[in-house]
Chains A and B, each alone.
Chain A
């Protein structure tokens, strides 16, 4: 019989734990659940850009919630990826104002260049293409969001190339403010 070891239970880093502790104090003592969305964002940043069931269970445990309270929330909000993703998720805005300024063409170009179709990850694991609704940047359309950064006015091949080159050269995701604070301490 083949022996398989259960995957190691995910753990938050010390910096993340400190940040979560700080976040919880923002809400009344009996309202820890309020910290759920901010903590899910931290979890997604910590664990490779998506929240696995194990990671969601960890979030539940951290906030004294039942796992279902996390699942029903993570599945309602579109920002949480419930399946593994590539190194960079290209979130292309497809709503009216971006469509008027060429988001359909942009999507076709990004599919062609990366080799990933919408909803898929490129063969090299570098890019996942995800269509999203209005990103509130309509005056700078078309727009792609990657993590916390907006790439705007992607109307020319040069602008698209510049974005992709920047992302390809990025080995690690950018350090988040609460991670910096920990390093300074």
Chain B
């Protein structure tokens, strides 16, 4: 059984209240940081921990913090990215609604480290009920003297606010998020300048995912080196995995990085295997943007090594035979799943969510959706399959923000690993569009 650094107390009754959270060791990191550490020392511990951004990019959090510009007399901001919208990912919602004070504690300690005097939690608008939970918890933290003027007599002051979005996946991209927080459409900004230099209101800003910020208290309490002892290599600490799709036990699992994928899917400690006694067909391991892998490649690398739940192991083989840990949105698909239909569904998502600024993404996502729609509905031609690959290639690398890649990668990977299923849709349009039809597989087709 792995250690639970974030969710140890998640099922304690009343843990969403200040009193109970405090009784279980809550807010110790604020006391420790404000009373015994300099801001730079806190940054140093986060660097030592090896914590990598939990929103999907996996960029080292401590390094990101150290890039923050600190001109004299200019306010700077810590903004929490709680715009959780990557299909397959639902960990932050659970964390915030059940453990609101953990995020608030991380925000206070993090803001102290960065020298922010006002910080914001940008939460997706659909989660207004979670915003209410956070606001109630923030009010409790103010009342207890952990927010506001002169926190714990340290001389450090901080205001913390929650800000709702309005329904737009793109606002999970950090510069689109900042635009949105400024009351504008969520169009990603050109970089440079990066937010660390010119972010919110053109001030130096750090944007971190909920789970990254929630890891700060334990890093400060136990020390970065202790945290880094958990996990394997550059994948340190624990990660929340959102397990969904055709699993016996979908849900949120906090794992020590390094658990074998096979164990994660089949052991009763985690997902308990595939539902209805069926076989696993494919997995999208890190949210809908990452390449899909067939069963044989998600359980073992191309070299035959067991695949582990780490940044490195999941990306072993690059995009030819590997994928990414991403946000930890783990979508399992059983043997009855139509890969073409699923790919079309995700393409429709990205087309719907493209902000429309960059032509390759605005037009390309539309073409991907259109071509996949006709393949799925029995009107596709063989050359459509190569057309998908060609469109995906032309989007990739040609857009301001990574939504272009997020739309292109899943399509390219689906064709790479399941080309025969796409071809079957072209050759057998009537069979493929019959309700409940299942691609019979390579063996039957041959």
Contact = CB atoms under 8 A, between A and B. Distances in A.
- Report if A and B associate in a common complex: yes
Interface of A: 26, 28, 31, 33-38, 40-41, 63, 69, 72-74, 76-80, 94-97, 99-101, 132-141, 145, 148-150, 177
A97 B251 CA distance: 12
13 contacts: A34-B163, A37-B163, A37-B165, A37-B180, A41-B164, A73-B183, A76-B186, A78-B168, A79-B166, A97-B88, A132-B126, A138-B89, A139-B243
Give 5 closest A-B pairs by Cβ, nearest first: A77-B166, A79-B167, A33-B183, A36-B183, A138-B244
A134 B85 CA distance: 6
B167 A177 contact: no
Contacts of A134: 85-88, 169, 288, 349
B59 interface: no
A40 B84 CA distance: 20
A139 B244 contact: yes
B250 A37 contact: no
A159 B135 CA distance: 30
B244 A97 contact: yes
B54 interface: no
Contact of A101 (B84, B124, B165, B245): B245
Nearest to A30: B201
Contact of A136 (B92, B168, B184, B251): B92
Given A73-B166, A135-B126, A136-B92, A96 B346 contact: yes
A148 B133 CA distance: 12
B307 interface: no
Contact of A137 (B93, B120, B181): B93
Contact of B127 (A80, A94, A133, A136): A136
Among A73, A96, A148, chain B packs the most CB atoms within 10 A around the CB of: A96
A41 B331 CA distance: 32
Interface residues of B, number: 58
A173 B13 CA distance: 29
Nearest to A153: B250
Contacts, number: 148
A132 B125 CA distance: 13
B183 A99 contact: no
Contacts of B120: 26
A36 B346 CA distance: 30
Nearest to A139: B250
A99 B342 CA distance: 8
Contact of A79 (B126, B161, B284): B126
B329 interface: yes
Interface string B323-360: 00000010101000100011001100100110100000
Nearest to B120: A26
Contacts of B337: 100
B386 interface: no
A139 B242 contact: yes
B403 to A, nearest CB: 13
B125 A96 contact: no
B246 interface: yes
B226 to A, nearest CB: 30
Contact of A31 (B201, B250, B284): B201
Given A72-B185, A73-B184, A100-B333, A136 B167 contact: no
Contacts of A41: 125, 128, 164, 166
Among A26, A95, A132, A137, chain B packs the most CB atoms within 10 A around the CB of: A95
Among A80, A97, A135, A150, chain B packs the most CB atoms within 10 A around the CB of: A97
Contacts of B246: 100-101
B242 A37 contact: no
